[in-house]
């Protein structure tokens, strides 16, 4: 018998005794002891016990509920019993999730937050040479600690590479794949020539053998000396360029989703960024697909930044961006306009 099972016995015994006492109290003082009090030991069990112990305690709770319903067969008692039954199911579900992850709640939450911070750190905008700025803006959907999309950034030898990757799935379910894929793609970006990166990322995901999971991505390679930019996409929204005069240019690279098609080809699009230009990369969630102009919210956000002055680093997406049920990411690379000297 495992150490975990042995260590659970005292708590299981205490909770079982509490259930019995509550059952007796309900029979002796029905107006003072509500049936709903049985949810307390069940919530503690879901938090601390394994699935087998939760099932044993649930069986004891069900026995107490049956005795109470026989003693007081009224509609209110049946409703209270139904509520307790739902709590038992939730306790079992929670215990099974803890066993599947192999971690307790007290360890699991800090671990997930640490994973989130490490993935985010890989895409933190680097310090670029004079004349260039990179800024990243994020907004998470709901209260989820983990995001389904992430960014990667690497600057070396006057060359900047940026990726925005969006994994299928969201929330805690995507956490293991997010840290795995971010680490793998970051390593490939550091080792391979840019033109080979998308194909290598596609091959990596194919080797994982995921049946229903895939990724979309956009990859930027920028020469920080000349301003020449090369962009490749994999089933991802193509980037756009905001020129210094306020006009916008849509780039049109093509490529399939990552992880689905062997030997996929990713056709590049090129542009030269002039002083004052801003290249904008986004995740799916930043676009309003329900609108006739999906980019409208992003355009307003970038126009706002340009008017206020783009600053390097990570920020919260401003309120001018549209509301979305998906994670939102906007990355901008700005070639600073030359200031005329007197």
Q: Which element (helix H / strand E) includes 155?
A: strand 149-156
Q: From CA 240, how far away is CA 238, in angstroms rounded? A: 7
pLDDT at 272: 96
How many C-beta atoms surround the C-beta of residue 215 within 10 A?
Answer: 25
User: What is the DSSP-derived secondary structure letter of residue 227?
Assistant: -
Residue by residue, DSSP assigns 262-317 as TT---B-EEEEPPTT-EEEEE-GGGS-TTSSSTTHHHHHHHHHHHHH---SEEEEP
- Cβ-based neighbours of 34, under 8 Å, separated by 6 or more: 26, 80
Check if the beta carbon of residue 228 is closer than 8 Å to that of residue 272.
Answer: yes
Closest CA to 227 of 330, 132, 331: 132
- Residue-level pLDDT, tens digit, the chain, 342 residues: 444 444 678 888 899 999 999 888 888 887 787 878 888 888 888 888 888 889 999 999 999 888 888 877 666 667 778 888 888 888 888 888 777 666 555 555 566 566 666 666 677 888 899 999 998 888 766 555 566 788 999 999 899 999 999 988 766 667 678 788 988 999 999 999 999 999 999 999 999 888 778 899 999 999 999 999 999 999 999 999 999 998 999 999 999 999 999 999 999 999 999 999 999 999 887 887 777 888 888 888 888 888 777 777 676 666 545 555 677 888 999 998 765 444
User: What is the DSSP-derived secondary structure letter of residue 2?
Assistant: -
pLDDT at 306: 80
Check if the beta carbon of residue 123 is closer than 8 Å to that of residue 161.
Answer: no
**Three-class SS state of 212:** coil
pLDDT at 294: 85
* 293 token code pair: 């102009």
Q: What is the CATH architecture of 121-335?
A: 4-Layer Sandwich (3.60)
CA within 13 Å, CB half, 305 = 33
pLDDT at 11: 86
């Amino acid at each position: 018998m495992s150490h975990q099972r042995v260590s659970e016995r005292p708590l299981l015994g205490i909770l079982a005794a509490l259930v019995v006492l509550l059952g007796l109290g309900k029979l002796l003082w029905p107006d003072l002891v509500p049936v709903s009090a049985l949810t307390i030991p069940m919530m503690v069990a879901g938090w601390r016990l394994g699935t087998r112990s939760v099932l044993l305690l649930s069986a004891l709770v069900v026995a107490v509920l049956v005795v109470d319903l026989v003693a007081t067969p009224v509609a209110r008692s049946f409703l209270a019993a139904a509520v307790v039954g739902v709590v038992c199911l939730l306790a079992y579900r929670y215990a099974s999730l803890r066993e599947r992850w192999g971690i307790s709640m007290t360890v699991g939450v800090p671990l997930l937050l640490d994973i989130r911070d490490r993935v985010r750190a890989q895409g933190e905008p680097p310090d670029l040479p004079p004349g260039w700025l990179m800024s990243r803006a994020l907004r998470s959907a709901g209260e989820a600690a983990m995001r389904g999309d992430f960014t990667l950034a690497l600057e070396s030898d006057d060359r900047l590479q940026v990726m925005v990757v969006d994994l299928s799935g969201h929330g805690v379910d995507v956490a293991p794949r997010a840290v795995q894929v971010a680490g793998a793609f970051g390593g490939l970006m550091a080792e391979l020539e840019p033109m080979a990166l998308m194909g290598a990322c596609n091959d990596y995901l194919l080797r994982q053998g995921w049946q229903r999971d895939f990724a979309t991505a956009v990859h930027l390679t920028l020469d920080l000396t000349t301003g020449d930019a090369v962009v490749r996409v994999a089933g991802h929204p193509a980037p756009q360029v905001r020129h210094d005069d306020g006009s916008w240019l849509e780039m049109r690279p093509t490529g399939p989703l990552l992880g689905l098609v062997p030997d996929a080809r990713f056709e590049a699009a090129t542009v030269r960024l002039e002083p004052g230009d801003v290249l904008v990369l986004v995740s799916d969630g930043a676009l309003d697909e329900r609108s006739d102009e999906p980019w409208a919210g992003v355009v307003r956000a970038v126009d706002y930044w340009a008017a206020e002055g783009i600053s390097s680093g990570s920020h919260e997406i401003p309120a001018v961006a549209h509301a979305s049920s998906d994670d939102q990411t906007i990355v901008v690379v700005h070639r600073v306009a030359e200031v005329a000297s007197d």
